[in-house]
């Protein structure tokens, strides 16, 4: 059965800052252009959108992702057999750290980070394992005018050395090293809004400064962007899918389910160089 027309989508905001659940669509069914456009509009409006009860295998997940752009491969983890763009994000019962368990924007150490990421729940702990999301538009817009002016002249140095502090996967290739400089304040290419673009997972320092010189201001910005009023929290269920805009959000998976398995499929949609 085909999905309903775009007008039938039921979009329900999850929190004041960002996030919405999208009901009334089967992502595994053929989607017409109007429905895809409505989903993209919901993403731009709410920054992260959530779908429930989706029955997608890796091929169907990748096919849905391609409706929004080319897929990019995650450089640090090998994709699953037959689907190199799809990686498995998993924490096993014996592990204590989770994958990417810190506030971050995905792969900011690449010259062209992904525009968006999709995460599909496969196996979940009986309780816990939620994900927090933060609105980085608000993080920028609530800074003082003086701080905004100062930050707009800075560039952040992002690399995999910082992320290595939160390594959690045995199959993560720590031999690879990536580094990229990006503006600390980036302009969203579709909305034109400015967003704070430094993150605790990857930003080591400001370009032209030492780590010691950069640390106090970075620490302030990391605390600032994670304020509760900038965030929403999503409780996963099997078949839940999250689609976030990597250009205007950060996320943090909560590590509160030791002794249980949490298994997800993830894909990334190619983006452009932050400006």
Active-site residue list? 104, 106, 251, 266
Question: 110, 180 in Cβ contact below 8 A?
Answer: yes
Distance CA 162, CA 104 (A): 11
Q: Is 214 left (phi over 0), alpha (psi -120 to 50) or beta?
A: alpha
Question: 181, 222 in Cβ contact below 8 A?
Answer: no
Instruction: Please tell me whether residue 188 adopts helix, strand or coil conformation.
Output: coil
In the sheet that holds 131-135, the strands lie side by side as: 231-234, 131-135, 249-253
Residue 181 CA: distances (Å) to CA of 25, 150, 158, 163, 225: 39, 17, 6, 15, 20
Distance CA 190, CA 197 (A): 16
Our measurement of the distance from residue 215's CA atom to the centroid of its chain's CA atoms, rounded to an integer in Å, reads 24
């Amino acid at each position: 059965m085909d999905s309903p027309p775009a007008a039938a989508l039921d979009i329900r905001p999850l929190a004041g800052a960002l996030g919405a659940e999208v009901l009334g669509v089967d992502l595994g069914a053929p989607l017409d252009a109007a429905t895809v456009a409505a989903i993209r509009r919901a993403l731009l409006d709410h920054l992260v959108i959530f779908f429930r009860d989706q029955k997608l295998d890796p091929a169907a997940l990748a096919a849905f992702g391609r409706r929004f752009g080319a897929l990019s491969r995650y450089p640090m983890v090998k994709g699953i057999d037959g689907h190199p763009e799809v990686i498995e994000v998993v924490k096993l019962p014996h592990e204590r750290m989770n994958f990417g368990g810190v506030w971050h924007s995905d792969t900011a150490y690449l010259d062209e980070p992904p525009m968006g990421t999709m995460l599909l729940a496969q196996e979940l702990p009986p309780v816990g394992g939620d994900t927090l999301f933060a609105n980085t538009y608000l993080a920028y817009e609530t800074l003082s005018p003086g701080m905004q002016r100062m930050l707009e002249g800075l560039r952040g140095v992002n690399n995999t050395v910082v992320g290595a502090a939160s390594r959690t996967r045995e199959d993560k290739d720590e031999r690879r090293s990536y580094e990229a400089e990006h503006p600390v304040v980036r302009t969203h290419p579709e909305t034109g809004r400015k967003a704070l673009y430094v993150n605790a997972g990857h930003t080591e320092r400001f370009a032209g400064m030492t780590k010691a010189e950069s640390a106090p201001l970075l620490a302030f910005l990391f605390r600032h962007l994670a304020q509760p009023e900038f965030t929403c929290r999503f409780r996963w269920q099997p078949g839940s899918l999250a689609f976030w805009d990597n250009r205007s959000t950060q996320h943090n998976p909560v590590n509160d389910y030791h002794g249980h398995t949490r298994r997800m499929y993830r894909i990334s949609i190619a983006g452009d160089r932050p400006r």
